[in-house]
Structure 1
Amino acid sequence: MAKYLISFPSAAMVISEADWDAVVRDSHAVIEQAKSAGVYVFGGGIDESVPPVRVSADGSVAEGGYSWGPSLDGGFTVLELASRDDALQWAARIARACRCDQELRVFQFDPES
């Protein structure tokens, strides 16, 4: 079993106001299905009203994330699944519910984490 990150940036979700309630309903339904299937680890959306900070090894804090990297926003779900094919199927279900493409990544296995 591997853990997979299924995510999308905020800009990918171009939803009309009229469709918003259906997207919320459908996306919550897919998450409930993942929970019922026992594959849900966690998920949520980045609170974009709270700016990121960067914390150094000495404990100092700097406003903002890495200046050279893309901003991290949008929504994500982590599922624990038996195969990449399973992950692709779940990503497609989430894409249908959210009405936007999803990015799929696998976490490297680390027996200590």
Structure 2
Amino acid sequence: MAQYIIYFNQQWVGEHRPEWFAERGRLANEVVEEMKRAGVYVFAGGVDENLDNAFSADPTGGTLAITDGPYRIHDVHLGGFTVVEVDDDEAAKVWAGKVAEACGWPQEVRRVW
């Protein structure tokens, strides 16, 4: 078995009405419950969109620096992710497809080493 992270950048979500998001939330929760029943669920969650709530840990200057805010301002940032534990890439693709359809926006998938 291998673990895969299925994730999206917040900018991939797009602009939608609150009702649309409510329906997507219901569908995403159904996929999470399906993952749990299938025994592949490890973790899933959205990431706080407010970058003012971020903080960073940087050891590259020789002394660990903990600072408020993102490490570096980017045009894109992580919106949420799911971790599944499945047999292979093909199974990860199936779950990524279910997550993408439920959420209504693209998902990227990478194996966790």
SS in 1 for 2:106: coil
Amino acid at match of 2:2: A
Report how many aligned residue pairs link the two structures.
Answer: 108
- Give 1:31's aligned residue: 32
More strand per residue: 2
- Give 1:13's aligned residue: 13
With structure 2 as the length reference, what TM-score do the two structures score? 0.83
- Give 2:49's aligned residue: 48
> Contact 1:65–1:71 at 8 Å: present in 2 too?
no
Deviation of 1:69 (Å)? 5.9
Q: Given the superposition, is the C-alpha separation of residues 70 and 81 from structure 1 closer, same or farther in structure 2, using an over 3 Å criterion?
A: farther
The 5 A counterparts of 1:1-113 are: 1-14=1-14, 15-49=16-50, 51-57=53-59, 58-67=63-72, 71-108=76-113
Counterpart CA distance in 2 for 1:70 and 1:105 is 21
After TM superposition, the runs of 4+ consecutive aligned structure 1 residues lying more than 4 A away are 68-71
* Structure 2 gap segments, 5+ residues each: none
Deviation per residue, 1:64-105 (Å, 9 max, x gap): 333276653311000001010000010000000000110001
With structure 1 as the length reference, what TM-score do the two structures score? 0.83
> Contact 2:11–2:76 at 8 Å: present in 1 too?
no
Amino acid at match of 2:3: K
